[in-house]
Amino acid sequence: MPYRFAHRMRCVPPSFLGKLFAVSTDPRIISFAGGLPSSSFIDVDGLADASRHVFEEEGKEALQYSTTDGYLPLREFISHRYRKRLGLDIPPGEIQIVNGSQQCLDLVAKIFLDRGDPVAMERPGYLGAIEAFSLYEPSFHDVAFGADGPDIEEFGRVIRKVRPKFFYGIPNSQNPSGQTYSYEKRKAVVEVLEGSDTVFYEDDAFGELFFDGRPRKPVKALAPGQCILSGSFSKIIAPGMRIGWICAPAEILSQFNCAKQAADLHSNFLCQKVLSRYLETCDLDGHVRRISAAYGQNCRLMCDLLDDMFPAGMAHTQPEGGMFLLATLPEGLDSMRVFEEGLKGGVAVLPGTPFYVSGGGESTIRLNFSSMDDERIKEGMGRLARVVRALV
C-alpha cells in the first residue's frame, strides 16, 4: 500500500551512519569510518560490580519509572566535575540527563526550529547533527572551519544577516576535522554573538580527550546565558549505556524537559544508577588520562603513516585530542571512489561529502584512530595507501 509519510522524511539526507555500523561489524574490514571509542577501555568488571550493588541494594527503585530530568546524584557529579575541571558553576538544576548527547541534537532542534527557520553550523560539520536537524526542515547556513575554529568574518555575517536560531559547533576536537578552537577564537565567537538572539549550541563530546590532559575553557564559560552545552559518558565510559547530558539556562531547559518527557518520559534509569555508583568508586581522572594517552599515540601513528606511505598531495589535520582526523586526497581523487575501492581492499573510510550541508567534501575523508590498536592501524593504513596509490 502507499504509505503517507510526513514531508520531513524527504528532507533527511541519505544516512551513512547505518552503513558505518554495518561495516564496523565485518571482521574482514579494518574500519576507520566509524566513531567508536576503544572497547579495551570499557571497564566491564567495574561496571559489573556497580550493577550488582544497584540490583542488591536498590533494585526495585532502579527498575521503576523516574523523573525526566535524571538521577540527582549523577547530575551532582557532573556539576562537581565542571567546577573541578573547568571552574564552571553549573548547578544540578541546570543539567538534564539524556539518552546520549545525540538525543540533545533532536530535542534542541525540536524546541527551536520551525520549518524554514535558519540554523548555522561549521563547514564541515558533524553528520549526525545534520541528519537530526534536517528532520525539522530548517534552512542551513554553514561557516568555514579552519585550523583554530570558525572563520570569524563569515561567522559574523551569518549571525548578523541570517539571525540563525542557533549555531551548532564542536569547539573541542571537532568532528570530522579533529581541530580545536583557539581561546582567541572562542572569545571572538562570543563577541560576535553578544547582542544577538542566536544561541550557541556547544557539543562537547570530546572535551575530556585532549592528548596533553589540559582542559580548554568552554564557550559557555564566556557566555553562560547564551550557550547550550552538551556532554557524554559514551566516549569515556561506555557508549552502550547511552548516557549524556545537557546544560542550559532554566528557560531553555524547561522547554527541553517538556520535549523529552513527550519523547521518552526519562532516560534509562537503571543505567543512570549503575553509572552513578561506578563513578563513586572509579578513578575517572586516571581512566581518562589512560584513554587520552592511547588515543594520542594512535593519532600520531596514523599521521606518521599518512606522511610516509601515501602519495604526494595527501594532507591531513593535526588533532590535539578526540578520535578523528580529516585527510585531503591528492588532486582529482574523489572520496566516494576511495570509499568504494577501499571496501574491496578491506579498509573503510568515511567520505567527506556527508559533512557538508551545501555541497563539498569530495576530496576529503574522515579517519577514526580511537578504535584500533597499533597493528590494526598499520595494516589498515597499508591497505588504504595501496588503494589511494592505485587510483592516483
28: helix, coil or strand? coil
Residue 360: phi, psi to the nearest 5? 125, 180
pLDDT at 321: 98
> Could you tell me which CATH number the domain at 65-281 has?
3.40.640.10
Transcribe 189-218 into DSSP letters: HHHHHTTS-PEEEEE-TTTT-BTT------
CATH topology of domain 7-43+286-391: Aspartate Aminotransferase, domain 1 (3.90.1150)
13: helix, coil or strand? coil
pLDDT of 196 above 70: yes
* Over residues 353-365, mean pLDDT: 95
97: helix, coil or strand? strand
**Structure confidence by residue, pLDDT tens digits, 258-311:** 999 999 999 999 999 999 999 999 999 999 999 999 999 999 999 999 999 999
**Structure confidence by residue, pLDDT tens digits, 118-161:** 999 999 999 999 999 999 999 999 999 999 999 999 999 999 99
Q: Which of 78, 123, 122, 132 is nearest to 102 (CA)?
A: 132
**pTM, two decimal places:** 0.95
pLDDT at 18: 67
SS (HEC) of 343-374: HHCCEECEECHHHCCCCCCCCEEEEECCCCCH
Given a contact cutoff of 8 angstroms between Cβ atoms, the answer to whether 97 and 74 are in contact is yes
Q: Which of 8-17, 23-32, 255-264, 372-381 has the lowest mean pLDDT?
A: 8-17
Q: What is the CA radius of gyration of the chain?
A: 21
Domain with CATH 3.90.1150.10 in the chain: 7-43+286-391
Average pLDDT score, the chain: 95
Domain with CATH 3.40.640.10 in the chain: 65-281
pLDDT of 344 above 80: yes
pLDDT of 79 above 70: yes
Q: Which of 321, 359, 353 is nearest to 340 (CA)?
A: 353
pLDDT of 317 above 90: yes
